[in-house]
Amino acid sequence: MGVGDLSEAREVRRLFDGRKLRVVRELRGLSQKALADAATVSPAAVGQFEKGRSTPNARTLLALAEVLRFPIAYFRGDVADSQREVPAFFRSLRSANTRELREARAFAEIVRDFTLELEARIEMPALDIPRMPAGDGQVSRDDIETIAAKVRELWSLSPVEPIDDVVNELERHGAVVTRAQFETEKIDAFSVAFSDRPVVVLCSDKGLRDRSRFDAAHELGHLVMHEPVVVGTRTAEKQADQFAAAFLMPEVGIIRFLPDKLELSALMALKKRWGVSMASLLYRASTLGVMSEEAYIQAVKAMSARGWRTREPEPLGPPESPQLLFKAVAILRDNGVSEDDLVTLTCLPVDQVQRICTSTAPTRPKVVL
């Protein structure tokens, strides 16, 4: 399918949205100069287009769309969309470079756009993720324990039992969860708190169910507690980790089962029951005061000596699978909407529609050699 023609470009330029141009450029991993060179315009012109200070003429818009391999229709913006200014919470801003981070966030933007187009045609779960701001870093660990317990209560989850499927809980309450592979493996997971449909992207979990569950709970912590102003801070990341531990392993439910020293059989049994890593269980035992600091340090050293800091025994099976978009697309297909129709409805190129559909397909077990 082509990107469009000059006639369509003339129509779209009247409602041209420069921020969409930036999103697509970043999604394709291009700098302003690289895009400008390929489209035979100046980098300054691209910058002006993206900031909304000028509008490309029809021929230039067509050239930009062809370089970016994106339908011209996507660049139409009926109203200003402040959601495009929402930053992403990444686990570590130091590990991946700026281009990689922008590309990843742009993918979340495309997922949101795709979701909103589907939602215009089918009913999806209402957004029901509570907001309990953690403030400027003065919140205590006990406060975060309380916040995590309150989310469980609001979502009618048992205060003392493991959560069967963390990803499913996020989706049942209105978040969109997807899995994605990027060029770099330095991006573990991230989230963008769009006010209409928050997007959680799970990435390099090494195929580990326990790690993936913690990642999902960590991103939920951001959605519940954090404002954009704290994006990228150590405090916010630490608080999200504390939330994830409390959400997955509530004190009232797990404290009596945690060992006060390294007991492998007990840890393996708890890992299976709670769906978390042995490392997380050890740290939880330490933070809750069940295990002394000395015992915790010895336990960590023993785990390292066995090579278990990178690959623990007793794997829990494949990571949890996102279902929301997969099922939504299936409903549309059952009602006669083809992949070509999805491309037309969403104004996204075929490669991105396929990428989104693939990233939300059920997780298959991975062969480990």
Side-chain-side CA neighbours of 131 within 13 Å: the count stands at 8
Range from 167-171, 284-288, 318-322, 364-368 carrying the lowest mean pLDDT: 364-368
SS3 108: helix
**Would you say the pTM of this structure is higher than 0.85?**
yes
What residues does each domain of the chain span? 1-80, 81-249+316-369
Element housing 239 (H / E): helix 234-248
Beta bridge partners of 178: 201
pLDDT tier, 367 (very low <50, low <70, confident <90, very high otherwise):
very low
**Residue 112 in contact with residue 176, Cβ under 8 Å?**
yes
**What confidence score (pLDDT) does residue 177 get?**
96
d(CA 276, CA 253): 14
Backbone dihedral angles phi then psi of residue 157, each to the nearest 5 degrees: -95, 145
Phi, psi of 201 (to 5 degrees): -110, 120
pLDDT at 40: 95
186 pLDDT more than 80: no
Fold classified for 1-80:
434 Repressor (Amino-terminal Domain) (1.10.260)
Mean pLDDT across the chain: 90
pLDDT at 233: 87
| Span 59-116, pLDDT tens digits | 999 999 999 999 999 999 865 565 567 888 887 655 678 888 999 999 999 999 999 9
* Res. 363 pLDDT band, cuts 50 70 90: low
Q: What is the mean pLDDT of residues 309-317?
A: 88
For 197-246, how does the pLDDT look when each residue is reduced to its tens digit (9 = 90+)? 999 999 866 688 999 999 999 999 999 999 988 888 889 999 999 999 99
For residue 214, give the nearest of 114, 320, 132 by alpha carbon. Answer: 320
Q: How far apart are CA 81 and CA 20, in angstroms?
A: 10
Indicate if the pLDDT at residue 249 is higher than 90. Answer: yes
pLDDT at 96: 75
Closest CA to 5 of 78, 75, 67, 66: 66
